[in-house]
């Protein structure tokens, strides 16, 4: 119903613009002005054709906001869409670069050893394992060990210790890397190992770390022997579609033995030193054993895209084996895949749930499929609980998150706001037995546009740690009551509806 109203509104706006253009060209006496108006009308006709093509044929998940822009500003909207709206050029560029690597380079060297496995997976877990191997290639490992690192005070000591113990190589890839006190502690640890003869490669996202990492810090790392690269620099952001496809991953790999990923970037704010945010709730995960190999492969692909350098030394893809502790599977996604692997994984988790679904996310801006899956689960009597921030980092984006509350609350989904805290963790647990932890938010940008990575956990001991964290988080959060939410102000309703219209391009 909402979609139909939006389309009718767009059509009316477009029609009015065209009528005004025709009227203007008919009443003026100036040939030059009349000619200009006719040219404008011609471009407007072209715009409406593009408008129809986008809606009918495009599989883009952010086409509705662009239809609104093109309808409201036919000529300017078309120009903007050509420059930054469509991702065809960027997607092709990523595919072409990755194809140069070859399938053998991007895929695991071999499947992991499944002999003498004692872990018994449920039918739901088996379906997820099969799905993820099909869409993300990576095999499940039963000889990996995981440990949850709750908040920065748990992560950074482990990260610094792993760097300190490196003997052969360090791969570090982050969306945000500050040059503040914590950032420099990491930089100095990397420099120390580089000067000791360890190969160190650092890859940061050019947009995410822009203005956060100083040029003096970059120069210092390079002079110290660290190989440093930026992922997809953007020279003129407003004229480039690159701003839509960012490397949102956070990865550390040391000697093929240890890997760390999750929501925590590198900087003081992640250890609660931000004046704006104060306490920062987040989750990372430490991986040891076979599954570390898949992070090495992932980093190698990203490094090649950024630098053109192939990382082919066998020691980069070496892995150890740990004692069995459930199953671990790495799932990555990005604009190179039209399947949206992490979205598919979360959708399958929701649909296969039998008892409970717990989620914590900074941004709840899912697409239609995930919304319907959550509604279906709640209507089926499953305990669905979602924790979102009680303090926003971006006000308009927070309105977009809130715009989905009423529809979910109406069918029994329980939504909590973390009291006065911005929670940045990205965790989903189903039935207390299957979980995913990683870098992907529950939003369209993470599902379709950004480069992300999540870790799937099946019957691992670390799932209990996640459940313990959820119990603490629930106790520190306020549940939103449906009847109270329905009585929110007209101003809030208007801002939330407007934000939802543009949610696909946030």
Q: What's the rounded Cα separation, in Å, for the pair 113 and 454?
A: 22
Task: Examine the residue annotation and report whether 431 is marked as an active-site residue of this protein.
Answer: yes
pLDDT at 245 over 60: yes
Q: Which of 139, 205, 232, 255 is catalytic?
A: 255
Q: What are phi and psi of 184, to 5 degrees?
A: -70, -30
pLDDT of residue 239: 47
Q: Which of 431, 443, 469, 473 is catalytic?
A: 431
Q: Which of 118-132, 239-253, 415-429 has the lowest mean pLDDT?
A: 239-253
Mark out the alpha helices in 411-481 (DSSP H runs): 444, 462-475
Task: Examine the residue annotation and report whether 426 is marked as an active-site residue of this protein.
Answer: yes
pLDDT at 238 over 70: no
What are the distances in angstroms from CA 470 to CA 238, 282, 434, 467, 474? Answer: 40, 12, 14, 5, 6
Question: How confident is the model over 356-365, as a mean pLDDT?
Answer: 97
pLDDT of residue 1: 47
Answer yes or no: are the C-beta atoms of 350 and 128 closer than 8 Å. Answer: no
Q: What's the rounded Cα separation, in Å, for the pair 191 and 426?
A: 31
Answer yes or no: are the C-beta atoms of 291 and 144 closer than 8 Å. Answer: yes
Task: Examine the residue annotation and report whether 250 is marked as an active-site residue of this protein.
Answer: yes
pLDDT of residue 452: 97
pLDDT of residue 83: 56
Task: Examine the residue annotation and report whether 118 is marked as an active-site residue of this protein.
Answer: no
Q: Which of 155, 343, 375, 424 is catalytic?
A: 424
Residue 27: left (phi > 0), alpha (psi -120 to 50), or beta?
A: alpha
At residue 312, the 3 state secondary structure works out as coil
Helix (H) or strand (E) segment spanning residue 372: helix 368-379
pTM of this prediction? Answer: 0.85
Question: What is the full DSSP assignment across 32-91?
Answer: HHHHHHHHHHHHHHHHHHHHHHHHHH---TTHHHHHHHHHHSHHHHHHHIIIII--HHHH
pLDDT at 157 over 70: yes
pLDDT at 159 over 50: yes
Per the document, the length of the chain is: 506
17 vs 96, residue with greater confidence? 96
pLDDT at 353 over 80: yes
Q: Which of 107-111, 175-179, 288-292 has the lowest mean pLDDT?
A: 107-111
Answer yes or no: are the C-beta atoms of 236 and 242 closer than 8 Å. Answer: no
Give the pLDDT band (50/70/90) at residue 94: low
Q: Give the sign of the dihedral formed by CA 123, CA 128, CA 134, CA 138.
A: negative
Burial zone of 237 (CB within 10 Å; 0-12 exposed, 13-18 middle, 19+ buried): exposed
pLDDT digits 0-9 by tens, 476-494? 999 999 999 999 999 999 9
Q: Which of 101-115, 134-148, 290-304 has the lowest mean pLDDT?
A: 101-115
Q: Which of 250, 257, 293, 343 is catalytic?
A: 250
Q: Which of 426, 433, 443, 469 is catalytic?
A: 426
Q: Which of 145, 155, 178, 248 is catalytic?
A: 248
Answer yes or no: are the C-beta atoms of 320 and 327 closer than 8 Å. Answer: no
Q: Which of 162-166, 190-194, 397-401 has the lowest mean pLDDT?
A: 397-401
Question: How confident is the model over 223-239, as a mean pLDDT?
Answer: 81
Dihedral, 489, 493, 494, 499 alpha carbons, nearest 10: 140
pLDDT of residue 361: 98
Question: How confident is the model over 161-168, as a mean pLDDT?
Answer: 98
pLDDT at 179 over 80: yes
Q: What are phi and psi of 285, to 5 degrees?
A: -140, 135
Task: Examine the residue annotation and report whether 443 is marked as an active-site residue of this protein.
Answer: no
Average per-residue pLDDT in the chain?
Answer: 86
Closest Cα to residue 224, out of 170, 305, 261, 268?
Answer: 170
Q: Which of 91-95, 130-134, 206-210, 363-367 has the lowest mean pLDDT?
A: 91-95
pLDDT at 62 over 80: no
Task: Examine the residue annotation and report whether 424 is marked as an active-site residue of this protein.
Answer: yes
Q: Which of 106-115, 170-179, 197-206 has the lowest mean pLDDT?
A: 106-115
Q: Which of 43-47, 177-181, 294-298, 395-399 has the lowest mean pLDDT?
A: 43-47
363 vs 235, residue with greater confidence? 363
Question: How confident is the model over 291-302, as a mean pLDDT?
Answer: 94
Most confident residue range from 163-172, 294-303, 335-344, 443-452: 163-172
Q: Which of 100-109, 153-162, 281-290, 407-416 has the lowest mean pLDDT?
A: 100-109
pLDDT of residue 136: 87
pLDDT at 81 over 80: no
């Amino acid at each position: 119903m909402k979609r139909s109203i939006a389309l009718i509104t767009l059509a009316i706006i477009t029609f009015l613009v065209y009528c005004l253009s025709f009227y203007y060209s008919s009443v003026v006496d100036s040939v030059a002005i009349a000619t200009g108006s006719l040219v404008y009308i011609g471009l407007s006709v072209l715009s409406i054709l593009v408008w129809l093509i986008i809606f009918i044929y495009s599989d883009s998940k952010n086409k509705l906001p662009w239809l609104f822009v093109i309808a409201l500003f036919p000529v300017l909207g078309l120009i903007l869409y050509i420059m930054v709206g469509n991702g065809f050029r960027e997607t092709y560029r990523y595919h072409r670069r990755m194809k140069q690597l070859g399938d053998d380079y991007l895929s695991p060297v071999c499947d992991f050893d499944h002999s003498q496995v004692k872990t018994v997976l449920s039918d739901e877990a088996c379906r997820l394992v099969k799905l993820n191997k099909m869409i993300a290639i990576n095999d499940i490992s039963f000889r990996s060990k995981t440990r949850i690192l709750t908040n920065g005070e748990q992560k950074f000591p482990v990260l610094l210790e792993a760097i300190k113990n490196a003997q052969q190589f360090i791969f570090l890839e982050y969306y945000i890397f500050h040059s503040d006190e914590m950032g420099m502690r990491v930089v100095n640890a990397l420099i120390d190992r580089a000067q000791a003869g360890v190969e160190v490669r650092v890859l940061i996202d050019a947009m995410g770390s822009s203005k956060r990492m100083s040029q003096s810090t970059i120069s210092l790392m390079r002079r110290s022997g660290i190989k440093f690269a930026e992922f997809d620099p953007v020279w003129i952001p407003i004229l480039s579609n690159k701003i839509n496809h960012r490397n949102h991953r956070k990865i550390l790999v040391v000697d093929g033995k240890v890997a760390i990923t999750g929501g925590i970037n590198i900087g003081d704010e992640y250890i609660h030193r931000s004046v704006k945010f104060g306490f920062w709730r987040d989750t990372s995960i430490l991986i040891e054993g076979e599954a570390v190999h898949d992070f090495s492969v992932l980093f190698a692909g990203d490094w090649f895209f950024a630098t053109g350098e192939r990382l082919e030394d066998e020691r980069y893809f070496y892995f150890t084996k740990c004692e069995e502790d459930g199953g671990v599977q790495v799932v990555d996604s990005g604009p190179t895949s039209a399947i949206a692997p992490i979205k598919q994984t979360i959708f399958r988790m929701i649909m296969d749930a039998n008892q409970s679904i717990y989620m914590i996310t900074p941004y709840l801006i899912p697409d239609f499929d995930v919304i319907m899956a959550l509604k279906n689960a709640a209507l089926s009597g499953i305990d669905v609980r979602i924790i979102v921030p009680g303090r926003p980092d971006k006000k308009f984006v927070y309105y977009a998150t809130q715009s989905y509350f009423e529809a979910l609350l109406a069918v029994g989904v329980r939504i909590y706001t973390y009291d006065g805290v911005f929670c940045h963790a990205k965790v989903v647990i189903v039935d207390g037995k299957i979980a995913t932890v990683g870098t992907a938010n529950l939003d369209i940008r993470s599902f379709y546009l950004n480069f992300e990575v999540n870790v799937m956990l099946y019957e691992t001991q670390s799932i209990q740690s996640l459940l313990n964290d959820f119990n603490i988080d629930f106790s520190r959060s306020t549940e939103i009551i449906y009847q109270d939410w329905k009585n929110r102000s007209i101003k809030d309703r208007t801002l939330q509806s407007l934000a939802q219209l543009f949610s696909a391009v946030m």
